[in-house]
Structure 1
Amino acid sequence: MDSSLTELVDRTAIRHCIERIARGEDRRNADLLQASWWPDATYDYGVQGGSFDEYLAWVVPGADAIKNTQHILGQSYIELSGNTAKAETHLVSYHRVDMGEGDQDTCIGARYLDLFEKRDGEWRLASRTMLYDWSTEWGDAIDWSQGLMGMPLTADHFSGRAVGDHSEKFFGDRKG
């Protein structure tokens, strides 16, 4: 394969892996996460760090207090070097958190610093460090049972994602 095409394929595979991780975290889906991280991978999210097994036990099933998350990915700067790659990906993450006196919405701007390894032709995450750039509290969360903008929701699948996300039914039981 031409080196330019190989580079394009590698960058696409790395970006898809980053997307799969975000989807897996938002849905607390162990299969998606296991398909994206090497079993010997490590992570440091500032508030939690360790081995991949520790990460998986932390993210799936997730904290009971964190009812909903959404990771919105921005640009990824990727530097390839043979069978390794470094990537920095910007993200904005939303979290609905049970604070004990009602749900609060919070939003974080951050960056992932990722080290990827290509083993047997497959790119997966070997190490991740999360850098926090900003955070804001949005206050009381909206009560979805009341609908949106004064109009009732027509089906249960319009709200929530951490458990029973409708898009999992839409895509089927895939691993990303």
Structure 2
Amino acid sequence: MTAMSVEEELKELRRELRYVTDRLAILDCVMNQSRGHDRHDIELMASVYHPDAIDEHGPSVTVGPEYGEQSNQAHASVFVDHLHNVTTHTCEIDGDEAHCESYVIGAMRARDGKSVFLFGGRYLDRVERRDGVWKIALRRCTLEWTMQGDTSLLTSGAFTGFIKGTWDRTDPSYARPLTLDKTPVERW
């Protein structure tokens, strides 16, 4: 076994760094879409799609950058809040194209104030690097299971004083710098 030359070692390190950098950028893209969704931040949601991207959620097939507005209206008509939790994430990178599978668990609280619905599915994404930026070119969403529960505990007083999220940029996650005494919040 021969020792690697300095040039070979640098080439290998560059290849590894490119892979890690690409993986993080792709994961940030997927996570930012979910964050934008849960904060109803249409600008953030649109930013993760290429202009000609397509998003398929069930019977709804939308131009990617327009998905945020359409889905926020649909969600707001039925739910008062929701959280999309991306869990298992795999990614196969081939040059400037990657194929990803991201498991998602969505928790959505109904307008009746009593019901919560859990959904399990996956995002199947083709992500492309264009002009040096990774964005979604095609997203297909699967639905694997659903479940319903009771959320009345939230309004029982057991969680009085906990921060309550909002569907806009007044949500404390946007505060810079995040402070304890200067960041206004809604509470239960």
TM-score range, shorter chain: 0.7 to 0.9
Distance in 2 between residues matched to 1:137 and 1:16, nearest whole Å: 30
Q: In structure 1, how many angstroms separate the alpha carbons of the residues matched to 2:167 and 2:153? A: 16
State the AA in 2 paired with 1:108.
F
1:124 offset after TM fit, Å?
A: 0.5
Q: Note closer, same or farther for the CA distance 1:165–1:51 as it changes in structure 2 (3 Å cut).
A: same
Match of 1:161 in 2: 166
Q: Which moved more, 1:70-79 or 1:30-39?
A: 30-39
Q: Structure 1 pair 159/68, CA: closer, same or farther in 2 (3 Å)?
A: same
> What are the Cα deviations for residues 84-112 of structure 1, in whole angstroms up to 9, with x where unaligned?
100000111100122xx554200011110
Q: Which runs of 4+ in 1 moved over 6 A?
A: none
Which of residues 34, 50, 72 is equivalent to 2:85? 72
Question: Compared with structure 1, are the counterparts of its residues 13 and 28 closer, same or farther at alpha carbon in structure 2 (3 Å cutoff)?
Answer: same
User: Relative to 1, partners in 2 of residues 1:53 and 1:120: Cα closer, same or farther, differing over 3 Å?
Assistant: closer
RMSD between aligned alpha carbons? 2.2
Kept in 1: contact 2:85–2:105 (CA 8 A): yes
Identity %: 26
Match of 1:29 in 2: 41
Cα displacement (A) at 1:168? 2.0
Secondary structure (helix, strand or coil) at the match of 2:175 reads helix
Preserved CA contact (<8 Å) 1:67 1:162: no
Q: Name the aligned partner's letter for residue 152 of structure 2.
A: I
Structure 1, gaps ≥5 residues long: none
Q: Which has the higher contact order (CA 8 A, sep 6+)?
A: 1
Q: How many residues align?
A: 164
TM-score normalized by structure 1? Answer: 0.83
Q: TM-score under structure 2 normalisation?
A: 0.78
Q: Deviations for 1:103-147, whole angstroms, at most 9, x for unmatched residues?
A: 420001111000101011100011100111111011x42264543
Out of 117, 129, 141, the position equivalent to 2:140 is 129
Q: 1:144·1:159 contact (CA, 8 Å) conserved in 2? A: no
